[in-house]
Each structure stands twice: as structure tokens, then as C-alpha cells.
Amino acid sequence: MSELFDRIDALVASRSPLPPPAERKRLRQAHGLTLDEVAAALEVRRATVSGWESGKTEPRPPERDAYARMLKQLAELYPADPNSAAPAEDTAVPETFANAPAPAPEARTLSTGPVSEAAAMTTEQNTQPSPAPESAPAAASRPARTARPSTTSRRPGTRKAAPANTPAGTDPRFANGPLAVVDVDADGQVLAYCVGGLVLDVPAKSLPSLVDWTLKEAKLGQPKLSGPGKDGDPLIVLTEAALERYGLPAVLSEEERDAGRLPEGHKVAKQLARADWKLTKRGFGPWARIYRPAQGSERACVQLCIPSWNALDTRSWGHAGQLPPAELARILGVFASRVMTPRGSTAVTGLELLTALHPPTRASEPDADGKRHSEHNPGSLGKDPVDPAPCEAPDGHPLLADLPRFHRRTPAEKLNEEALDWARPLTDDECLRRNLVGIDVNMAFAAGANGLVVGLGAPTHVKAPAFDPKLPGAWLVDLSHVDLSRVKIGKEWVELDGALLPSPFTPTGERPEGPAWYSTPTVAYAVELGYEVRPIEAWVRYDTGRYLDGWYNRLRDAYIDTMADLGVGADLSPQDFLAVRGGYRQADPELAIVVDAIKMTAKGTIGKLAERPRGEGWTPGQPWRAMSRATWRPDIRAAVIARTRINMHRKILRHAAFTGQYPVAILSDCIVYAVDGTSPLDFLPYREGKPLPGGWRIGISPGMVKHEGTQTVLWGEGVREQYKAPELNLARYIKTGEVTNKDNGE
């Protein structure tokens, strides 16, 4: 009988009444709850809750009953005002970015510190959302300016209450957001443009006083991302006008660009020194960090970003450096709220995100005297670097100092896990096809990191070990016997045309010729294909963990949520996805910059794990600066790349077994097929709207694919004939069809 009652309860819960989407959002904001908090409580994704509030989707059991229960309780606490036409929007860092008003440039909020209550009321009134056409894609809210409030005290160090419009749950220390873009207007007034459209009056007359104002009055910064972590330091972005006001050059000289910083004797550097401010070892460059030694748990540190000194690299940030201050604050604020406050290049920020999510130390339990001490934080890499295994060490590493000069290490001496760069001539049948269609894997290397078990400590050398797929490390093993003509897919053996497939065991796709070093995912794949492996020796790590999971989850959610704001949702059908994704940049070109920055953060982080010397007078056999970081881990980079390559190869095999189609070119995360159609939908097998299990799947999530480009077979054969290279990698040029260089890896 109890089971019957449970089924009845579940049936009733499946129809739990819910208020309209706008009311759901109002109730959440009235209680000061963020989308992340609600998502965590209901054990769903942030984007799912956002969809419920926008009306795009509706909750289903069992979440629906719990969600309805929460909204009912909130409705009792915060009854709707019958005289209110629309709920008020948050004026701090935006949580959702839908149906936002266009900026009103006639007025602005000016303040030397947190805004007054009257100003907060004015701000709230002027940020009411205006209705948008149903067909218009959601876009990130642009800065909205409001009327000028009365001025507040300029006395340095005066402690003020949080602004009246600060949502409940927002840390009052960082009431004005994580960052500000400092500029000088036509009247000579120095202004700080913050996220959410807030503009502060800056009284500072020098750079040292600007740093003081930032730390004492501006209320800028970001709460820590994990329990034992540290709060994010405030970021100040200086425009060219602000640089001139504070005695800094608008652009660096050629000598300064080569050095990457201003000379130590520059007058502004001397001003900072006289005020007892210090600079990090990289000096006063595009991403300068100004600090004083920490006093206990109190940090005094400000990060500077100088776009005109090329702080915002165009490869990652596009034209962000040329945006107006308010718009630049907007896109940097979106990135900061979804990833973290930028700390340097996107690659540097990615490493900082890893550390912020897994701090190397934590406070211990109180000792006999009641004091706490710093101790290793389990699951982190620790604060001290560890040496790689000799086979994992890159050329020039001190571990290899005894090798003869100009010695080239063989596969049996060096771990060489890199992305595939492979192509082959077209078969006669493929030459009769009309087109070459390329598909690209979304955030492929981030997807490869998801769920990956990596070593956290130093390696241990073992002889003739039994292979353990759960043990991260490097294995010396002969995989030349693996024949792709007959492989195991799932539980069944499948016959394939191995000559048309790349080997998954080498970056070139060529079959290995003997023993070589491989990362654990590569050897595990050989076992998965049905072949026995007998390692000769190995370097393994027994202290393991899924260190990259939090990093992946945060970047994944940032990417999916930002793409959703651009109209490319995770719930689109493959046809609709391909239709809208091609033009997503036109929906909001500035917000699209954030998408690029997120992708470059993911890719750059993996590269930074094995960063090579960058000049600095380095000579082979000597350590270089990157090696002093605990996050310098070439073994983790190798494992991520190996797993990414294996994930792609597994889908290639399943696709070939099911359709008889084989790739003609592969470059990293791009795969090209010769087909008759022009779209991925013309050759990817979908049945009743569902993709081939374990095969390519069209969509927005990392690991799924999008359309990279289509060119004719005649174009491909013409390019190869022109360069007299029958195996020229056409995946390099499939996107635009423009060939600027011979296949030289650039």
C-alpha cells in the first residue's frame, strides 16, 4: 500500500502549481538567492534554473515539487505588490542577462564611494527591464547609467555601509563588483566604470592614492571560490586617458615592449616605492600587481590591466581593448562572474582558477594551545613543485642535462602525447563525392579533462608492472601489434578498413614501430580495443584525484550560459542549433568576446601546464621560471591531450562501423569527411532525432560538435595538386577555404 501512496504522491508532485516565470525570478531575488545557490539545492545546473525563470523550460519531477515548495515559501515571505508592474532587477553583478535595457547615456551614477540610499533608489528605478520581442535572443545586460546622487565623504579609510541596493547575500565588501575601468571624461573628471552600470567618482590624484582608494573605498573584489581559498583581488583597468592622468605612457616603447615592463626607475614606480607599495617580479607591465605583505589574513593587493599595453591579447579578447569603458567593464564583469576576475592572460587566469578551486594549503584543526597552522589541502597539488619523470621532461630540462648535445630522444625515451595532425589521399569513391565537410569538437581539451584521474604528487618508477587503467602515469609499452582492421567496440569485434584510419597511438596517425612511452588513457584504449598490453616499465603516481573537475565544470557552465545569452541554448534541436550558431556573434558582438575568452582560457590552461622557457637568458639543462610553480605539470597536460585524442578516435571508429564513412583529415579537434551533402546533418546518423550512441553528437556542450566548414572535393584536390602534396591536411583550411601557407603547422 505504501508503494501505491508513493506513486500517488509522485503523480501529484508532477503537477505542482508554479507561479509565472517572472514571478519565480522576483521571489528568488527578493530573498537574495543566486541562480547557483538554487541550482545547488535542487542538484541541477545553473542554466536549468535560468531556463525555468525565463519560461524556456519547465521543471520536471522530482525537482518540480521541491522547486514549487521553495517558491511557495518565498511567496509567503515576499507577497507580490499589486501596484508593481514588473519586478526590480539586481543592480550588482548580473546573474542572468536577458531582456536588458539599452544604456541611457544622458545620466550616470557618480560617487566617491558606495552610492547613497537615494541613489540606490534611483538606480533601481532606472534598471527596470523593458519587454523584448519574443524572437529577440537573450543578451547580457549593458551598462545603464542613472542620476547623480549627493556626494559622500572622501576621507580615506572611512568605513561606509553597503549600498542600499545591494541584494541580500552579496558580500558587502565587494558591493560594487569585482573590477572597474578607470577613465577620464571630457570635463577632466576621473571615473570608475563598474559592472551593472555603476559609475564611481575617483578622487585619487596619483597611482598610489588610486590603489589606496581601491582597497579602502571602492568596495571592489570577488569572494573566494572555495573554502580554504582567498578572496579575489580587485582589478583596475586603466584607459589611455587614465594612464596620462597618472603619469604613465599610453603605449610602451619598443625597448619596454621587449622587456614586458616599464624600467624600475620610472617615476611612477618610484612613487609606489615611496608609498611602501611593492610590485611582483614581473614588474610594472600590462598586468601589474601592486601589493603590501599580508598582515594575518588581511590582503592588500590590486591588479592592474592596461589594454593599450596589449594586456588584452586580440587572440583571446578580440577588439575588447578598443571598447568604451562601460562596455569593457560589462564584458570583463561577465567573464569575472562566470569564470573569475582576470589575473593576466587567459592562460594565466586558467591556472589561477585551478589554484583558486584547489588551494594548496588550508588551516589545520586547533592544536593544544588553540592555534591553527597551515597544512596541505587534500586534493590539491600542494605548494611545492615536483619533478617529472625523465620520460615526461621536455627537452632541455635539468633531468636531461647529461644527454649528449643535439641528442634527439626516441619514442622509447620520450612521452609524446600530442593532438592528431593526420590526413590521407581520397579514395576513388570519395573523389566522386561532392563536398568535404568539417566538424569541430566544442572545447575538446576541456572535455578531455572532465572526470580525468591525474597524479597529484611525484612519480614512482616500477619495472615490468601490470597495467592498471586507474593509475595515472607513463608506461613504456609496445602497441605496434594493435590492428585497427579488427577491433572491439563495446563487446563485439568489428571489421574495419584500417588503412583509412589514423593510429590513435601517435600524433601523426602512423602506426608505432616498437616500444614507446604512453600516458595511461592511451594504453587503456589499446586494452579497450581488445588487445593485450605488457608494459616494460612505468612511472606511476599513487596519490591521485580528479583535480580538473571543478575547473572543467566552471568553464563548461560559463561557456553554456554565455552561449545561451547569445541565443544558442542547450535545448535546441540539431537543426536549430546549426541554424542559430552560425550567426550568434551578430546577436551581441561584445558578449561574443566572452565566449572566445572562455575557450582560450580552457586551451591556454592545458598549455601552461607544460610551459616552455620564454627567453630570460635560459640555456638548456638549466631550470626556467615556470618550473617553480606547483601547477607546472607536463604529465597532466599529456594525460589531458591523450584522453582528448582517444575520445575523438573512439567516435571515429563507431561512426565508421555504423556508416562505413572514414575521415580524410584530422587536425587537433577538427575532423573532415567526404560526403555528398553540405551539412553535418547530411552524414551524421540521427534516428528519430537521436544520435548514434557513443558517436558524434551535434550541440553546444563540450565534447559535442558543430559545423566547422564545407568546401568542394574539387577544391581539396586542387589545393593538393597546387602544392603537390597528396596528404596536405585539408582540415587546416576547411573553415574558410583560404590557403595562405603550405601545410607547415602554423
At 202-222, the pLDDT tens digits run 999 999 999 999 999 999 999
Cell of 54: 525565463
Do 589 and 370 contact (CB within 8 A), yes or no?
no
> Coil, strand, or helix at residue 304?
strand
Average pLDDT estimate for 48-56? 82
**Whether pLDDT at 5 is above 70:** no
Burial readout 663-681 (b: 16 or more C-beta within 10 A, e: otherwise): bbbbbbbbbbbbbeeebbe
Do 674 and 720 contact (CB within 8 A), yes or no?
no
Any idea which residue has 564611494 for its cell? Answer: 113
What is the rounded distance in angstroms from the CA atom of residue 171 to the CA atom of residue 100? 24
pLDDT digits (tens, 9 = 90+) for 389-426: 999 999 999 999 999 988 999 999 999 999 999 999 99
**Please, what sign has the CA dihedral across residues 734, 346, 391, 548?**
negative
* Comparison of pLDDT for 440 and 158, the residue scoring more: 440
Q: Which domains does the chain have, with CATH numbers?
A: 2-77 (1.10.260.40), 117-130+139-342 (no CATH), 398-418+448-545 (no CATH)
pLDDT digits (tens, 9 = 90+) for 720-742: 999 888 889 999 999 999 987 54
Closest to 570 measured CA to CA, from 15, 14, 43, 49? 49
Closest to 80 measured CA to CA, from 5, 30, 145, 117? 30
**Whether pLDDT at 607 is above 80:** yes
What's the confidence (pLDDT) of residue 124? 35
Contacts of 607 (CB under 8 A, 6+ apart): 347, 637
pLDDT digits (tens, 9 = 90+) for 519-540: 999 999 999 999 999 999 999 9
Do 178 and 336 contact (CB within 8 A), yes or no?
yes
Average pLDDT estimate for 698-704? 95
What's the confidence (pLDDT) of residue 158? 30
SS3 content of the chain, % helix, strand, coil (to 5): 35, 15, 50
Number of H helices, E strands in the chain: 22, 24
High-pLDDT (> 90) share of the chain, %: 67
Angle of helix 520-528 relative to helix 634-659, nearest 10 degrees, comes to 20
What is the rounded distance in angstroms from the CA atom of residue 625 to the CA atom of residue 234? 26
What's the confidence (pLDDT) of residue 150? 31
pLDDT tier at 595, thresholds 50, 70, 90: very high
What's the confidence (pLDDT) of residue 74? 87
**Please, what sign has the CA dihedral across residues 545, 548, 552, 555?**
positive
Strands, sheet with 460-463, edge to edge from the N-terminal-most edge strand: 460-463, 537-540, 473-478, 515-519
Question: Alpha helix (H) ranges present in 340-443?
Answer: 346-357, 428-431
**Whether pLDDT at 138 is above 60:** no
- How far is the CA of 325 from the CAs of 184, 190, 204, in angstroms? 10, 12, 18
What is the rounded distance in angstroms from the CA atom of residue 224 to the CA atom of residue 222? 6
Q: Which helix (H) or strand (E) holds 390?
A: none
Least confident of 112-126, 281-295, 464-478: 112-126
State how far Cα 361 lies from the chain centre. Answer: 24
**Torsion-angle region of residue 241: left (phi > 0), alpha (psi -120 to 50) or beta?**
alpha
What's the confidence (pLDDT) of residue 584? 92
**Whether pLDDT at 144 is above 70:** no
Closest to 61 measured CA to CA, from 4, 19, 22, 7? 7
Closest to 155 measured CA to CA, from 234, 221, 216? 216
pLDDT tier at 41, thresholds 50, 70, 90: confident
Any idea which residue has 507577497 for its cell? Answer: 79
pLDDT digits (tens, 9 = 90+) for 245-282: 999 999 999 999 988 899 989 999 999 999 999 999 88
Strand 235-238 with 298-305, pairing = parallel
What is the rounded distance in angstroms from the CA atom of residue 638 to the CA atom of residue 417? 5
What's the confidence (pLDDT) of residue 374? 86
Report the amino acid identity of residue 683.
Answer: F
pLDDT tier at 3, thresholds 50, 70, 90: low
* Comparison of pLDDT for 219 and 63, the residue scoring more: 219
**Whether pLDDT at 63 is above 60:** yes
**Residue 464: DSSP 8-state:** S
What's the confidence (pLDDT) of residue 99? 34
| Dihedral over alpha carbons 695, 700, 706, 708 (to 10 degrees) | -140
Do 321 and 237 contact (CB within 8 A), yes or no?
no
* Comparison of pLDDT for 81 and 544, the residue scoring more: 544
Cell of 404: 649528449
Average pLDDT, the chain: 85
**Residue 426: DSSP 8-state:** P
Cell of 682: 547530411
What's the confidence (pLDDT) of residue 6? 56
What is the rounded distance in angstroms from the CA atom of residue 600 to the CA atom of residue 595? 9
**Whether pLDDT at 299 is above 90:** no
